[in-house]
Structure 1
Amino acid sequence: MRRLGAIGTAASAGLLVAALLGACGAPAAPVSPSPSMPTVPPLTSAPATGGGGDVPPTETSSGPGTPAPTAANWKIFKTPDGKLQFDYPAEWTVKDRSAEAASGAVFLEVLNPHGKSLATLRTDVVTGAECTQRIPYSVLDLVPVPALAQQGATPHFIFELRLYPAEKDPMKANVMAYGISSAPKPSGPDACPIFHFFTWPPSGASFGGVYNPFDTTPGNEPNVDTPEAYRNTSEYQDIRKMVTSLRPAGQ
């Protein structure tokens, strides 16, 4: 890895998040604003901040350079309950993990050919949460997903970061994740911890994953050492296309 700097080095927080993926149980209603993402619930509590309001937020919906092309061949996957479907690259695998979820809930994990976890899709996610902590942030990508609109509200796909400047452990200093969200777009000097969910009967659902530049899965693209660089890779472009393709079955 090169040019990691403050963001890239701290971004190994994704390792902490990803390590929890295999041990996920059924989603439960959060009682505190931990940096929870229904894509990989439950997460550990957020690190304490140290007055990090002096770190300005940034937002970038498109990065410099030309994004890499997406995969040539795609398939359609319909969820076991028959209610949702999405497109995914033909070389990727969709693993059914519903046995680890609540009865009747969907729990799917999308893996690349080398076994790297790229995203999870879950339904019956409980979405209630309180925001008692606000954190410096960056929004790296933002795309509306009109196919999932409910009651006139359109969710969006978002790739975002939360910075914990007082956290000395590089595994926890930054949390970066992408997914579909019905929450308002972050604004102002700081934002609530990441909690990606979208409105979907009977409560909510989630589809997304985490970014970890220190992932050593074979086949990773070289010289990707910042979230901005990752945004232009084929892998991210494929993930973005897959996640934003989620729609009601039959559409």
Structure 2
Amino acid sequence: MPTVPPLTSAPASSGAADTAPTEPSAAPDTPAPTAANWQTLKTPDGKLQFDHPAEWTIKDRGAEATPGGVFLEVLNPGGKSLATLRTNVATSAECTPRIPYSVLDLVPVPALAQQGVTPHFIFELRLYPAEKDPTKANVMAYGLSSAPKPAGPDACPIFHYFTWPPGGASFGGVYNPFDTTPGNEPNVDTPEAYMNTAEYQNVKRMITSLRPAGQ
């Protein structure tokens, strides 16, 4: 568990439901129940806010943030890192070797639209066929992105950043089927199975709730 005192959150005014996806999602028709109690946290710079389950801890890692930026980490009661939120980060990236991919979930987040571009929450994977280590052969992550949805037979490596003044920001995490943090649900060893869990539904609802402070 974090040694830094957690930030203080206020009760969420309402638990907003997930925004309807723009295309059929691989998520289950009847998802696992989400957390009953939610709180709203405003970032230390006062510019953004998001909702999160009351039992989750928000760790302020501002000492590691880029100058003028925010760095928050969300952890479950067992100490598992579920997502990080960072602002004022560089978003340039090179598309090195293109690799096989899969998009498992896609939801627009209009509250964060900038310059006519609406970012989306995406859960996706990349397959590295030549990698012998099973922990590295399938890379799976979820988060907010302003990049176009991958298309065609292959795609660039996962790069989850969205446009947010003065440069870019990120809010997301990694799905690791080999994670052994206490409290994990058993037999969740595929991304499809993970999407059936309450944890995934809560993470998705939290990330898609990110919005300008005061909204």
**Structure 1 segments of 4+ aligned residues over 4 angstroms from their partners:** none
Residue 164 of structure 2 corresponds to residue 200 of structure 1: yes
* Alignment correspondent of 1:189: 153
1: CA distance, partners of 2:172 / 2:114: 19
What displacement does 1:81 show? Answer: 0.3
Please give the TM-score of this superposition, normalised by the length of structure 1: 0.75
Q: Which runs of 5+ in 2 are unaligned?
A: 1-22
- What's the RMSD between the two structures over aligned residues? 1.2
Amino acid corresponding to residue 230 of structure 1 in structure 2 = Y
Residue 190 of structure 2 corresponds to residue 226 of structure 1: yes
Of Structure 1 and Structure 2, the greater strand share is in 2
2: CA distance, partners of 1:155 / 1:236: 19
What displacement does 1:221 show? Answer: 1.2
2: CA distance, partners of 1:170 / 1:96: 32
* Alignment correspondent of 1:113: 77
Aligned 8 A contact 2:109 2:208 in 1: yes
2: CA distance, partners of 1:226 / 1:60: 19
2: CA distance, partners of 1:247 / 1:63: 23
Please give the TM-score of this superposition, normalised by the length of structure 2: 0.87
Q: Paired residues, what number?
A: 193
2: CA distance, partners of 1:248 / 1:63: 27
Amino acid corresponding to residue 107 of structure 1 in structure 2 = F
What displacement does 1:133 show? Answer: 1.4
Identity %: 84
What displacement does 1:171 show? Answer: 2.1
Aligned 8 A contact 2:125 2:139 in 1: yes
Amino acid corresponding to residue 190 of structure 1 in structure 2 = D
Query: More displaced, 124-133 or 200-209?
Result: 124-133
Alpha-carbon displacement from aligned partner over 1:163-218 (angstroms, at most 9, x marks no partner): 00011111211110000000000000000000000000011000000001111111
* Alignment correspondent of 1:249: 213
Higher relative contact order (CA 8 A, sep 6+): 1
- Identify which of 58, 63, 78 aligns with 1:94: 58
Of Structure 1 and Structure 2, the greater helix share is in 1
What displacement does 1:102 show? Answer: 1.8
